[in-house]
């Protein structure tokens, strides 16, 4: 990893400014005075060997980002990553081995762990949802329900768990929701206005009643979001649309209900909780003197 570049050179995080993220997170944790405890108790030349390992089964996301914290504070640190993002690993698996300056490693530890635990938590929860709909043909989507400022990372973690990304930002596509419909007057009026705007973007419209489907399609919708519909309604919508546009089920989807939703024949299922409510996983860093 080259921290002299402004972004990660990867299709997965092509627009992510890694150096700026690392600087911002370390500044938040270290303040203006740095790690005063380590400076007071540890010789400046002391060295540590450390292993980062998982203490529960997880899906990994954020390995290179975690490593970047250590590299920023000790350019000579020796690092070996034993896993890659997207890997599913068992309890006790060593993720990273590090050998470097003790003060620097201790200063970077919490920022690295916080990031890796959070992103791997999202990837791990996402994978449980993906596994629950395996074989149905339905595709899991994330949403824009992310922690402000962390969207690129959280949506990356969702991909590592096996989901696909919905809109990254509001300018990625037109998504006409119930409030837009309310102001426009009807689903048909909202879609026709979006078509007339000629943005060149896909037009998706949220419908919560079967009766809204044909007006939306006739007006020019490219995709439908079926909001809070029962499985019976979803099956009826799938039959009515008959493959003319992709269908996305959304609203209150849980792990215990997603399989039944997938079996209705919808193309996509969006789940906000995979980014909004994913718990951090348990990852630790164990040191030994070298």
99 carries an active-site annotation? no
Active-site choice (88, 110, 144, 273): 110
Active-site choice (23, 75, 78, 177): 177
235 carries an active-site annotation? no
Q: From CA 227, how far away is CA 187, in angstroms rounded?
A: 13
263 carries an active-site annotation? no
Active-site choice (88, 145, 151, 235): 145
Closest CA to 74 of 114, 104, 94, 54: 104
9 carries an active-site annotation? no
Active-site choice (35, 74, 154, 206): 206
227 carries an active-site annotation? yes
Active site residues: 110, 145, 177, 206, 227
């Amino acid at each position: 990893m080259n921290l002299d570049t402004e972004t990660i050179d990867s299709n997965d995080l092509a627009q992510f400014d890694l150096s700026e993220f690392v600087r911002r997170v370390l500044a938040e944790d270290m303040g203006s005075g740095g790690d005063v405890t380590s400076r007071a108790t540890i010789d400046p030349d002391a060295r540590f060997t450390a292993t980062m390992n998982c203490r529960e089964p997880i899906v990994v996301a954020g390995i290179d980002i975690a490593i970047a914290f250590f590299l920023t504070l000790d350019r000579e640190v020796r690092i070996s990553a034993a896993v890659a993002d997207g890997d599913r690993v068992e309890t006790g698996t060593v993720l990273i081995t590090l050998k470097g300056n003790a003060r620097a490693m201790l200063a970077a530890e919490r920022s690295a762990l916080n990031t890796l635990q959070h992103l791997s938590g999202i990837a791990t929860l996402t994978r449980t949802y993906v596994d629950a709909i395996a074989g149905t043909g339905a595709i899991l989507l994330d949403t824009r329900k992310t922690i402000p400022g962390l969207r690129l990372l959280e949506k990356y973690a969702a991909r590592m768990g096996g989901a696909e990304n919905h809109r990254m930002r509001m300018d990625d596509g037109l998504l006409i929701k119930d409030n837009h419909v309310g102001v426009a007057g009807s689903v048909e009026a909202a879609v026709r206005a979006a078509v007339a705007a000629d943005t060149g973007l896909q037009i998706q419209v949220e419908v919560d009643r079967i009766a809204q489907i044909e007006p939306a399609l006739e007006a020019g919708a490219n995709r439908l979001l079926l909001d809070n519909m029962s499985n019976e309604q979803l099956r009826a919508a799938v039959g009515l649309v008959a493959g003319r546009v992709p269908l996305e089920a959304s609203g209150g989807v849980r792990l215990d209900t997603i399989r039944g939703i997938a079996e209705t024949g919808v193309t996509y299922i969006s789940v906000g909780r995979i980014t909004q409510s994913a718990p951090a996983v348990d990852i630790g860093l164990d040191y030994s003197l070298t």
